[in-house]
Structure 1
Amino acid sequence: MESYFEKQVDTLYEQAITLIQMVSMMKMNRAGEKAEVDVPLEFKQDFFSLIDKVSSSLMEEQDCFYGYFLFQMEREIRFDISTPTAVNFKGARYVIYFNPLIFLSLNRNQMKDSIKHEIMHIVSLHLLRAKGLKSTYSKIALNIAMDMVVNQYLKYLPPYATTLEWVNLKYELKLRPYEPFEYYVEKVQIALDLLEEDEEGDLIDQPQQESIQTEYDVARTHDLWEECDSLDEQTIHTFTKRFVEQADKGPLPIHLGNMIAALKKEKGELPWDLYLKRLMGTIESHTKKTTTRRNRRQPDRLDLRGTLRGHKAEIAIALDISGSISDEQFKQAMKEVLHIVKNYNHAITVIECDDEIRRTYQVKSIKDIEERPSTRGATKFTPVFEYANKKHIDLLIYFTDGKGEQKLQIRPRGYKILWILSEKAATLSLQESYGAIKRLNKVETKDEFIEMRDVRSDGYSMNNQAPIW
């Protein structure tokens, strides 16, 4: 049976080469025109017959989820993608694309893992999460980070696959395994920016992509995401859950089960920590001049210095320490502060306030967090905003139970605001919030000991969990 499968692969690959040779001849005869690949119907039928065999193999495995998920997806052939497979969302369905020239060079196990790779991107909501970080990070940094995340759970990767080991070696990093996508993209971007020569290339100035791609290109692994239908996040959540529910028909690997459980738990509104990660991707990142790289806009001007992304933003974290905040709520807020300190390389100032600001201090590491003061008064939000306006911050995160004034005495100026209400809070008392309002997860009373789930909160990705084969 396997020999027949391999023979079918070889036959299809030869036919694909013949197609490309015909297109190349047309291109030579029509100089200046972009020759498209007209895929014959017979080739499509034979190729997707092969995909059906791969899909059947996935359904027969212990983690049959991938096979049933693939069964719901539309399938198309595109020779202009630089990966074996790619996905996007079109016409109320997820679509998976295959480049026969690259896909048919894989063995059967690699074919299955290439499909699993794309489905894990979908379940991890990478299509949405990457979109929120495009303004801060380069395309290649985002591609590397996302592919590194899902590839850690796959066993049969082609030699060119983007892996944690490859990234650590190439960029001289010491990235930890099973971390969230947002952790990796920041570290990779800093490494790219510190290179003397621009490894990532200026993708904006690259020529139009050719209609035929024969090799893997990490810079273009997710180009098709740009072609997704323009839908709101809640709609994407709804469709993704529907696909997941239809595919959930058997036992799951632990990491995939946790991703799905987190996805099902949400009601279309992003959890506060994932929303914060996206928000941080939109705040201004400071830059610094450097002589180690040329100016991007005018590379021939040697007198102009280039710039490096500093990835430093001024963030203020306000903690409501009034009498209406319980010790348990305060502890939960402090855990979230520790999470922020651990995962983001920004300048962070903690502001402790009830009816006035009691204390402010800088935080660079977990050990900088100070004990809660004993002084507790009523709640006023205005003092914090007066402080923030004077300090020219980029982002204010306010942990509170929501009980304060109905109207601020001063209007916030020039920074983004995220309100994070305690679990028992009914609503924010302000008539105008000037920012997004999210809510902490439920506080559970427990004995005083530390568990991993107490210090990690990675949203949908669940990437801190090692796979169990």
Structure 2
Amino acid sequence: MANSEGIVDLHREISEAVLKYEKSADPALLSHINDGFSRFAQLVTLFLVSERDTYYGYFFMAMTFRPNPNMDAIAGILLDAYPPIFEANPLRLFKLSLKEILYVFCHEVDHVVFNHPAEMVRSNPEKQPDLFKLFNYAADASVNDQLNYEAACGKKFLAPPKGIITSQFISARFNIAQVAPRQDYLYYFNLIKDVALPEEMGNSKEPGFEGEPLAGGFSVESGGDEGAEFEEGSFVGGSAEEAGGSVEPGFEEGLLIGNHSWESSTGEDEEITGTLDEMLESATKEFLNNVNELMGAEARGMMPAYFIERLEQINAPAKLNWKQLLKKYVGTISAEKIKTKTRLNRRQPLRFDLSGTRESKTLKIAIAIDTSASMDSEQLRQIFAEVFAIVAQRRCEITVIECDAEVRNVYRITSPDDANLEVSGRGGTCFSPVIRYINDRRYYRDALLIYFTDGYGEKSIPRPRTYRNLWVISGATVHLSVEQPYGLVLPLEDA
């Protein structure tokens, strides 16, 4: 129990130092508090790994700790560093009881495990402040409900701070009946994302020490005793509520002032923010895999099921999307070479009578539509809109080829409005007529062929003489009857 006693003593020491610092603002005392936080974090890590919860303990083994008395939030994990940094404001953190501090530590880990950093960026591409605030409510409700459940199931070393955001808070604050507990962030976010923030939520105010709410859904007003001790395997007298009991949120105190960012950059550089979700997701993947590598086989077998599921998800091969692939192809298609008298011949530069060459800078795309497929007008409209959005910055020539058992119609379009959307239900399907039509015309040698079909047709086709080929199937990709499609086969709808 040496670890337990050391944590209790150190927590009491730092809490008392914080109270003294508030009265004196002594820099030497602040330095002592910061040093104490670093020692406290090391003891928490050792305590969790050796005596209480190896799952969270391994996460803290895979990161470093840094005190920051100037941050508005109580704590947060910075993912744009290696190893990730657990940053906390000790002046706020040690206003909480010992059980509540451990709750804060575990709370921040769960945000990362559930991929909330990257999801926050994706959920709000226009960076609306109110939407970020709503995301934090949803993410905190998901994480805190799970932690409260774990505390009730036996993790008596955890206790929720007063005023945390939970599903009960979401229900009461947004006046939504029958909000289910222990759901993922998306469930809560979809419930509240289109609901106007109550007036008091929209008002920005500086967080303070006396019961005002802070980032992460925590209030610094603690309901516990500072002199918490261990008894029968758990902290005693150190929580606002017993960990296993029903926690009634303080609805007037649970406002979320500030947002999680999970990265230390300012976010003002457009080049950085444009890929911020990818950076955060990559950092999360690396972090979780590092934690997994620290574990032995026995420890790994004791991990929660949701951790194992997350590892499988982040390490699964990426699923291709036909729109993403089209963007990639557009960037790699070489422009056609045409002769010009304005340039010298590169092979014989002294022969002024010979023409040189230049790139036409025109992107050629052939869109083949299987008129017997089960695509309706709305799907076709979306397809053409997507294609034109992808090639918007390129000079391009788009040809539409309608075909069932034979080529029925060929025409050029310059905008989505030019496309014929009434093309369904004309009979059987053959893919070869489109391929032969393209192969017979040199114009398509450097073009991209995209074939939209339900997949049912011939088993073999001639090899298309185009630059690249892409099959987009309206159903399952296994339905494509062609045994050798000479190109990638992807579903029309994202999985």
Q: TM-score range by the shorter chain?
A: 0.5 to 0.7
Say yes or no: does 1:43 pair with 2:33. Answer: yes
Q: Could you tell me which residue of structure 1 aligns to residue 58 of structure 2?
A: 68
The one-letter amino acid paired with 2:201 is E
Contact 1:421/1:439 (CA < 8 Å) preserved in 2? yes
2:117–2:277: 8 Å Cα contact kept in structure 1? no
Could you tell me how far apart the structure 1 residues matched to 2:381 and 2:265 are? 47
- The alpha-carbon distance between structure 1 residues 126 and 376, as it changes in their structure 2 partners (threshold 3 A), is farther
Deviations 1:181-222 (A, max 9, x none): 3342242233335x5xx232255xx6xx57989743212142
Distance in 2 (alpha carbons) for counterparts of 1:77 and 1:101:
9
Would you say 1:182 and 2:186 are equivalent positions? yes
- Contact 1:87-1:118 within 8 A present in 2 as well: yes
Question: What amino acid does structure 2 have at the position aligned with 1:130?
Answer: M
Per the alignment, residue 196 of structure 2 pairs with 192
TM-score of the superposition, structure 1-length normalised? 0.52
Whether contact under 8 Å (2:285, 2:314) holds in the other structure is: yes
Give the counterpart of 1:260 among 307, 311, 314.
311
Larger Rg: 2
Match runs of 1:245-284 below 5 Å: 245-248=289-292, 249=295, 250=300, 251-266=302-317
Structure 1 counterpart of 2:257, from 200, 219, 230 = 219
Match of 2:112 among 122, 125, 139: 122
2:117–2:280 CA contact under 8 A, matched in 1: no
* SS of 1:192 mapped into structure 2: coil
Aligned to 1:167: 170
**Alpha-carbon distance between aligned partners in 1 of 2:31 and 2:105, rounded to the nearest angstrom:** 23
| Paired residue secondary structure (2:110) | helix
Whether the aligned pair in 2 keeps the contact of 1:148 and 1:164 (CA below 8 Å) is yes
The equivalent residue for 1:148 is: 141
Q: 1-side partners of 2:195 and 2:382: how far apart?
A: 41
Matches within 5 A, 1:294-373: 322=370, 350-351=378-379
Q: Partner of 1:153: helix, strand, or coil?
A: helix
Deviation of 1:162 after TM superposition, in Å, equals 0.7
Query: Do the aligned partners of 2:381 and 2:416 also contact (CA within 8 Å) in 1?
Result: no
- What secondary structure does 2:160 align onto? coil
Determine helix, strand or coil for the equivalent of 1:191.
coil
> Match of 2:189, SS?
helix
Q: Distance in 1 between matches of 2:453 and 2:94?
A: 52
CA deviation after TM superposition for structure 1 residue 62, in Å: 7.5
Mapped contact 1:63–1:253 kept (Cα < 8 A): no
Query: CA distance change for structure 1 residues 73 and 4 in 2, over 3 Å: closer, same or farther?
Result: closer
Task: Report 1:443-458 matches (<5 A).
Answer: none
SS in 2 for 1:80: coil
> How many residues are aligned here?
317
The offset of 1:55, in angstroms, is: 1.1
The one-letter code matched in structure 2 to 1:167 is: I
Q: Return the letter of the residue paired with 1:65.
A: Y
Q: Distance in 2 between matches of 1:128 and 1:57?
A: 30
Q: Select which of 18, 21, 40 maps to 2:20.
A: 18
**Which residue does 2:90 correspond to in 1?**
100
- Mapped partners of 1:132, 1:144: distance in 2: 16
After superposition, the Cα gap between the structure-2 partners of 1:353 and 1:47, relative to the gap in structure 1 and judged at 3 Å, is closer
Distance 1:92 1:52, change over 3 A: closer
Question: What is the aligned counterpart of 2:285 among 241, 247, 250?
Answer: 241
Distance 1:175 1:211 in 2: 30
Listed one character per residue, the Cα deviations across residues 415-469 of structure 1 (whole Å, up to 9, x for unaligned) are xxxx99999xxxxx99899xxx999998799xxxxxxxxxxx999xxxxxxxxxx
8 Å CA contact retained: 1:321, 1:354: no
Contact map agreement 2:92 2:209 (CA 8 A) in 1:
no
- 1:188 and 1:210, CA in 2 relative to 1: closer, same or farther beyond 3 A? closer
Contact 1:16/1:101 (8 A) holds in 2: yes
- Report the Cα offset of residue 389 of structure 1: 9.3
Partner Cα distance (2:139, 2:453) in 1: 31
Letter in 2 for 1:48: S
CA distance 1:87–1:69, shift in 2 (3 Å): same
- Stretch moving more, 115-124 or 75-84: 75-84
Q: Structure 1 residues 266, 386: CA separation in 2 closer, same or farther (over 3 Å shift)?
A: same
Q: Which segment drifts farther, 142-151 or 230-239?
A: 230-239
CA contact (8 A) 1:117 1:150 kept: yes
Amino acid at match of 1:172: N
**1:255 Cα deviation (Å)?**
1.9
Corresponding residue SS for 1:96? strand
Q: Which has the higher contact order (CA 8 A, sep 6+)?
A: 1
Give the stretch that moved more between structures: 173-182 or 162-171.
173-182
Q: How far did residue 148 of structure 1 move?
A: 1.4
- Contact kept? 2:80, 2:283, Cα under 8 Å: no
The alignment partner of 1:190 has SS state of: coil
SS at match of 2:123: coil
Seen in structure 2, the aligned counterparts of structure 1 residues 62 and 260 have a Cα distance that, compared at 3 Å, is farther
CA RMSD of aligned residues (A): 5.3
Q: Is the partner of 2:84 in helix, strand or coil?
A: strand
- Residues 92 and 53 (structure 1), Cα distance of their counterparts in 2 relative to 1, 3 Å cut: closer
Residue 79 of structure 1 aligns to a residue whose secondary structure is: coil
2:7·2:44 contact (CA, 8 Å) conserved in 1?
A: no
| CA-CA distance at 1:168 after TM superposition | 0.8
DSSP-derived class of the 1:140 partner: helix
Q: Distance in 2 between matches of 1:160 and 1:65?
A: 26
Specify the alignment match of 2:202 in structure 1. Answer: 201
Q: Aligned equivalents of 1:168 and 1:124: distance in 2? A: 22
- Any unmatched runs of 5+ in structure 2? 149-158, 215-255, 325-367, 385-402, 422-430, 444-450, 456-464, 480-492
Structure 2 matches for 1:396-415, cutoff 5 A?
none
Alpha-carbon distance between aligned partners in 1 of 2:188 and 2:321, rounded to the nearest angstrom: 20
How far off is 1:49 after superposition? 1.7
Say whether residues 1:158 and 2:188 are aligned partners.
no
